[in-house]
Amino acid sequence: MTTADRTDRTIAVIGTGVIGASWTAYYLAQGFTVSASDPADGAEDRLHSWVEDFWPTLETIGLAQGASSNNLRFTASAAEAVRGAEFIQENGPERVEIKQSILAEIESGASAEAIIATSSSGLLITDIQQGMQHPERMVLGHPFNPPHLIPLVEVLGGEQTSPEAVERTLAFYAEIGKRPIRINKEVPGHVANRLQVALWTEMFHLVSSGVASVEDIDTAVAYGPGLRWALLGPFLNLHASGGDGGITHVLEHIGPAQREWARTLGTYPETDDYIPVMAEGVDRELEGYDWPQTLDQRDQLLIDLILAKQATPHIP
């Protein structure tokens, strides 16, 4: 990977749990200096350990010019961490009042021009930005876990966010190799998580109803549509299924049947009674497998796929 030297540009990462640590490693790999902050006991040691664990994977994907894990500084103070930062990635707990408290500390040290992006997986930006000094620069920058591997970032502004801040955020994430999407309207859970929940709802329903086992549903997705979804999105896969007529033909052909199927889809369980059933199914599916080794092999396949897609210019 070749880019202009970015080591004189600082990114602040506030909150260095699993998501924040992954973001930290990615920004370091992109050649930035990272100023990180987390008030938790032992946070600095954990962050350095995680970055060290992630670094070989990032080296495989490719490091930017000047990239080094040594370009990391840490402080317990968010106000101190954000001084001089051009972009701030906030990763605090998923509660509005806590995020607002963190944002108040961030704004006490940040320049007025710095973008503040939250990694929130479901909160509304309009709620989070209430009471800010500069709400116009508050945006959603929600990654897909883990951020140091998965390219997707969801970008969205709240009612007080300026269009310029959204555009700057989209451009920034694109600059550093992410695949940002613009969300045009606030909804709880944003886009990718809502799509996941739709699938989870039906798979819990199918298992609970005795239609199929946990293992068979995993196989149905991982060795069926999941393979295609990893290459092209669901709309383009529908378009490919329609032959010369594309998506118009396929929807005209199967739309009536799908409407009938849709009427029989399940709803998300209202109680936790389903959880032991799902957990038992997962335990059975993993019998004979070394789970940490499975995850390591999954990550390697993911890296191979990402690199292959990067080298394939006609895949959107």
pLDDT tens string 20-66 = 999 999 999 999 999 999 999 999 999 999 999 999 999 999 999 99
> What DSSP designation does 63 have?
P
Instruction: Report the percentage of the chain scoring pLDDT > 90.
Output: 97
Q: What distance lies between CA 290 and its chain's CA centroid?
A: 26
Predicted confidence band of residue 120 (pLDDT cuts 50, 70, 90)? very high
Residue 159 neighbours by CB under 8 Å, 6+ apart: 126, 129
Query: For the chain, how many residues are written?
Result: 316
Instruction: Check pLDDT > 80 for residue 17.
Output: yes
Domains and CATH numbers, the chain: 10-182 (3.40.50.720), 192-310 (1.10.1040.10)
Helix residue spans in 136-273 (DSSP H): 163-175, 192-208, 214-222, 225-229, 234-241, 246-262
pLDDT tens string 258-311 = 999 999 999 999 999 999 999 999 999 999 999 999 999 999 999 999 999 999
Q: How many C-beta atoms lie closer than 10 Å to residue 98's C-beta?
A: 12
pLDDT recorded at residue 248: 97
Whether 141 contacts 20, CB under 8 Å? no
Instruction: Check pLDDT > 60 for residue 92.
Output: yes
pLDDT tens string 227-269 = 999 999 999 999 999 999 999 999 999 999 999 999 999 999 9
Predicted confidence band of residue 3 (pLDDT cuts 50, 70, 90)? low
Whether 1 contacts 25, CB under 8 Å? no
Q: How many whole angstroms separate alpha carbon 114 and alpha carbon 278?
A: 44
Would you call the peptide bond into 276 cis, given omega within 30 degrees of 0 as the criterion?
no
pLDDT recorded at residue 4: 77
Instruction: Check pLDDT > 80 for residue 124.
Output: yes
Residue 234 neighbours by CB under 8 Å, 6+ apart: none
Look up tokens 């116009």; give the residue. Answer: 136
83-102 mean pLDDT: 97
Among residues 211, 122, 118, 200, the alpha carbon closest in space to that of 165 is found at: 118
pLDDT tens string 133-165 = 999 999 999 999 999 999 999 999 999 999 999
